[in-house]
Structure 1
């Protein structure tokens, strides 16, 4: 539940700063990128401290080297968070985090179905809803950046000939 709270609170705080006059923070894609970055910093850090052993136990037993998998996914989440904050890498970061959320979802199913957690927020339905919110957010950032890039494309040689 904490990642969802961080995503919502930071996104709203950035939107509030934009409404208060910080012009660079006025757009929803910028606010959402900031909220996602904060969320992925939180989830990336817990791959190394606080919940590391819990995350290792979430890796389905069919996968080898669960500690390495947790380390790699933590690094990818942290790198994705940084990438969301630097405009030239937003497309790659949002795309990579979208794929990462999809690839990691079976671990969420595994812990819910195996009863490896006592937290009601970790049950299958709440976890699935949160994952869908996170996925929707990364896809929204991805789509927004793709739209921004396509509207800024310089005219091609063919376009210049038509005029």
Structure 2
């Protein structure tokens, strides 16, 4: 994958957003393993067939790895963006379980606060796709496939 197109306005904005998301994920992952471990336990759905501590630790390690990848593997930002988005979608049932079961964690002690929290997960997914250029790359590839299918490109 090549760097962002020079014609893109403010490519530095995406880079800063990617770094911020990476730093956020490293911090969140670290908190899984340390100071917020109990809060993260409240987000593990009871129907998940794994030990709660395993889920909290494993998801923390994944978050740290994704965060570091976003910070230091800019060349691979597009696939890392898709993987990060997939991870954020995969952990969303935990947020839903916290809301549905009324579990208090992270200061979310009302249905309203837990419901508002649910709105942020899709925004994180969009942030990952935008900041890494993953969504833009997918659209460009799809557009090129359309051109190729219409016979507009000779290889």
User: Fold match, TM over 0.5?
Assistant: yes
Q: Which of the pair has the greater relative contact order for Cα pairs under 8 Å at 6+ separation?
A: 2
Structure 1-normalised TM-score? Answer: 0.68
- Residue in 2 that maps onto 1:52: 37
- 137 and 82 in structure 1: CA distance in 2 versus 1, 3 angstrom threshold: same
CA deviation profile, 1:78-116 (whole Å, cap 9, x unmatched): 111111122222123211110111111111111112111
Query: How many Å separate the matches in 2 of 1:67 and 1:100?
Result: 18
Q: Does 1:90 align with 2:80?
A: no
Aligned-partner SS, 1:119:
coil
Query: How big is the alpha-carbon RMSD for the aligned residues of Structure 1 and Structure 2?
Result: 2.7
Query: How many Å separate the matches in 2 of 1:148 and 1:84?
Result: 21
Query: How many Å separate the matches in 1 of 2:110 and 2:24?
Result: 17
Q: Structure 1 residues 109-118 or 138-147, which shifts more?
A: 138-147
Flag structure 1 segments of 5+ consecutive residues without an equivalent. Answer: 1-24, 151-161
Flag structure 2 segments of 5+ consecutive residues without an equivalent. Answer: 1-9, 143-153
Q: Structure 1 residues 140-149 or 33-42, which shifts more?
A: 140-149
More helix by share: 1
Superposition pairs for residues 104-119 of structure 1, below 5 Å?
104-117=91-104, 119=108
